[in-house]
């Protein structure tokens, strides 16, 4: 006899069906799966659905998908994924979990975790702490470094993604207006044409890998305080064989959708600084399209969810779909790139201001932040918090560090992304050189000069712990005697709180 989906659901929803005899069973449902939370474990079964990107209508297809899910996720989340469990029909005709009878369905068995530890839940409670954002970035860097490189030669994969999204939006006229869908198609195809060569170059350099494929906040959990990615996309290899920045874009978009652009900016900056596969700065030219497509993916999922609902429940998805499509089209119309430089003596709070200002600058999720102290440490191959000796702060080394900053800033601008550079910039020639980078790129330039009383500067550098800057009181006293020359940058009173300094800086930023 054929086993229906309803029978499997009834079995897995029954606490008495489990060997552990949990008090109750909770259900989490997505557009293509059901997860039953029972005691300390969770059983995940595939819905018997056929969608444009998957087909779970046969037992063999569901078995293969469960097996692939285990294979993909055990590498990165071994403490969560425990094994495959058959659903069987016993000789007495009853269904059982891991019985001796005929296998009628398959489930992925997982260790249950507190749903409050999902980053989607954490993000809803308020902005993520910078330290957590940096941990998330480090996790994605490790993940992408370990992803197998897939040899492709052109931008065909991304063209297929855009084509598939456009086709799906065109079939959802009850939720997506023809004008909105047409605007997405026109802008996305124009963006594809602009970056086709770049996509090909990235593919040739190893940026296309077998990635997670579904890397949003709902698929990252804090396990013993550390972010762990799980539930990698298992049902369609083409959808997960993608540019690593397209994989990252889902996470960045999700943080933005949660109203936390500062966290998204931290993740992007740390990811680019770590450079897990190379050419991340040049790849920024793809980011607007990648973000827009990730929003469109979420829109398609919302549309499918609405189709599985009935009546008024389905109608409730309409406002969400409209907001998502508005966001997708906005990503495809990014602002022009600009260069902002933040200068000042040691202790004025340049890096603090630059980091807090970056999310407000340019295309989503904000400017790339370049810091002279960090570039100096990278030049000598040491950790950010390792102290360098006096020889590493000589004139020739400092000139080299500034040249690195100019070159990197120029590359960011060439990608179409905004950049903010923080360094002392005490010499007039240094300030002129960074302004010239913007001029050569044909971009707007803003120079901010931070000032604070000498006693404040000394107190701040002496209070630093775990920072990339090696400046101490002696360095500050030496800088105080510097001849700054003509100062044409906007002067900022840096004696106040970080929030007050940021407010002053924002008053000079064009929006």
Largest CA distance in the chain: 92
How far apart (Å, rounded) are the C-alpha atoms in residues 10 and 95? 10
Q: Give the model confidence (pLDDT) of 324-367 as tens digits.
A: 999 999 999 999 999 999 999 999 999 999 999 999 999 999 99
Question: Distance between CA atoms of 252 and 365, rounded to whole angstroms?
Answer: 7
2 pLDDT band, cuts 50/70/90, is: confident
Residue 511 banded pLDDT, cuts 50, 70, 90: low
Beta-sheet strand order (sheet of 444-451): 368-371, 419-422, 338-344, 444-451, 490-493
pLDDT of residue 255: 98
Cis-peptide, bond into residue 365, ω within 30° of zero: yes
How far is residue 112's CA from residue 237's CA, in Å, rounded to a whole number? 27
CA distance 32 to 46: 6
pLDDT number for residue 172: 84
pLDDT tens string 179-218: 999 999 999 999 999 999 999 999 999 999 999 999 999 9
Residues 135-162 have a mean pLDDT of: 90
* Residue 100 in tokens: 């001796």
Q: What percent of the chain has pLDDT over 70?
A: 98
Q: For residue 276, what is the DSSP state?
A: S
Does the pLDDT of residue 1 top 70, yes or no? no
Residues 6+ apart with CB under 8 A from 172: 300, 303, 321
Give per-residue pLDDT as tens, 208-246: 999 999 999 999 999 999 999 999 999 989 889 999 999
Q: Is the model more confident about 472 or about 154?
A: 472
CA 103 distance to own-chain centroid: 40
Q: Which residue has the tokens 């790339």?
A: 368
Instruction: State mean pLDDT over 448-470.
Output: 92
- Kindly list the domain boundaries of the chain, sorted by start residue: 5-112, 119-331, 338-506
Residue 380 has pLDDT above 80, yes or no: yes
pLDDT of residue 304: 80
How many other CB atoms are found less than 10 A from the CB of residue 306? 21
Is the pLDDT assigned to residue 312 strictly greater than 60?
Answer: no
Phi first, then psi, for residue 86 (nearest 5°) are: -80, 150
| CATH domain 338-506 topology | Rossmann fold (3.40.50)
What does the pLDDT look like over 5-40, one tens digit per residue?
999 999 999 999 999 999 999 999 988 899 999 999
Query: What would the two tokens of residue 291 be?
Result: 């973000």
Residue 311's region, left for phi above 0, alpha for psi from -120 to 50, else beta, is: left
> What's the pLDDT at 311?
59
- Cα 188 from Cα 332, distance rounded (Å): 7
Tell me the mean pLDDT in the region 247-262: 97
The tokens describing 49, both together, are: 């659905």
H helix or E strand, kind and range, residue 420: strand 419-422
Q: Which CATH number fits domain 119-331: 3.90.170.10, 3.30.420.40, 3.90.870.10, 3.90.1200.10?
A: 3.90.1200.10
> What average pLDDT does this structure show over 154-166?
86
Query: d(Cα 71, Cα 65) in Å, to the nearest integer?
Result: 10
Confidence bin at 133 (pLDDT 50/70/90) = very high
Evaluate if residue 397 carries a pLDDT over 90.
yes
pLDDT score of 153: 67
What is the pTM (predicted TM-score) of this model? 0.93
The yes-or-no verdict on residue 429 having pLDDT over 80 is: yes
């Amino acid at each position: 006899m054929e086993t229906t989906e309803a029978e499997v659901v009834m079995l897995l929803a029954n606490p008495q069906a489990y060997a552990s005899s949990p008090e109750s069973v909770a259900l989490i449902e997505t557009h293509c799966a059901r997860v039953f939370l029972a005691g300390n474990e969770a059983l995940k079964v595939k819905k018997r659905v056929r969608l444009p990107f998957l087909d779970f209508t046969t037992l063999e297809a569901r078995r293969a998908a469960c097996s692939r899910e285990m294979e993909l996720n055990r590498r990165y989340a071994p403490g969560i994924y425990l094994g495959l469990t058959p659903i069987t029909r016993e000789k007495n005709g009853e269904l059982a979990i891991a019985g001796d009878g005929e296998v009628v369905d398959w489930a992925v068995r997982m260790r249950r975790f507190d749903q409050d530890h999902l980053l989607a839940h954490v993000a809803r409670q308020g902005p993520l702490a910078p330290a957590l954002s940096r941990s998330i970035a480090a996790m994605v860097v490790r993940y992408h470094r370990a992803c197998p490189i897939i040899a492709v030669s052109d931008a065909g994969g991304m063209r297929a993604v855009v084509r598939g999204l456009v086709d799906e939006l065109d079939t959802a006229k009850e939720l997506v207006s023809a004008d909105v869908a047409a605007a997405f198609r026109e802008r996305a195809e124009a963006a594809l044409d602009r970056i086709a060569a770049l996509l090909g170059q990235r593919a040739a350099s190893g940026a296309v890998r077998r990635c997670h494929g579904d890397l949003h906040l709902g698929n990252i959990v804090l396990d013993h305080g550390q972010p762990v990615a799980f539930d990698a996309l298992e049902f369609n290899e083409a959808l997960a064989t993608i540019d690593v920045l397209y994989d990252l874009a889902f996470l960045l978009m999700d943080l933005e959708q949660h109203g936390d652009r500062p966290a998204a900016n931290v993740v992007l900056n740390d990811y680019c600084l770590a450079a897990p596969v190379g050419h991340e700065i040049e790849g920024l030219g793809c980011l607007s399209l990648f973000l827009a497509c990730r929003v469109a993916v979420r829109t398609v999922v919302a549309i499918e969810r609405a189709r599985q609902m009935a009546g008024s429940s389905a109608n409730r998805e309409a406002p969400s779909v409209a907001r998502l499509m508005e966001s997708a089209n906005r990503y495809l119309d990014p602002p022009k790139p600009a260069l902002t430089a933040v200068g000042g003596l040691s202790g004025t709070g340049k890096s603090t201001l630059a980091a807090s200002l970056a999310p407000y600058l340019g295309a989503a999720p904000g400017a790339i932040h370049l810091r002279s102290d960090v570039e100096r440490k990278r030049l000598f191959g040491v950790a950010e918090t390792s102290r360098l000796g006096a020889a590493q702060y000589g004139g020739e080394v400092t000139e080299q560090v500034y040249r690195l900053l100019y070159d990197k800033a120029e590359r960011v601008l060439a990608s179409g992304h905004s950049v903010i550079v923080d360094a002392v910039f005490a010499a007039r020639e240094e300030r002129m050189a960074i302004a010239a980078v913007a001029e050569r790129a044909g971009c707007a330039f803003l120079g901010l000069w931070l000032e604070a009383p000498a006693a404040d500067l000394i107190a701040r550098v002496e209070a630093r712990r775990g920072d990339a800057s090696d400046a101490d009181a002696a360095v500050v006293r030496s800088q105080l005697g510097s001849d700054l020359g003509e100062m044409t940058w906007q002067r900022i009173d840096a004696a106040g709180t970080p929030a007050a300094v940021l407010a002053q800086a924002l008053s000079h930023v064009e929006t």
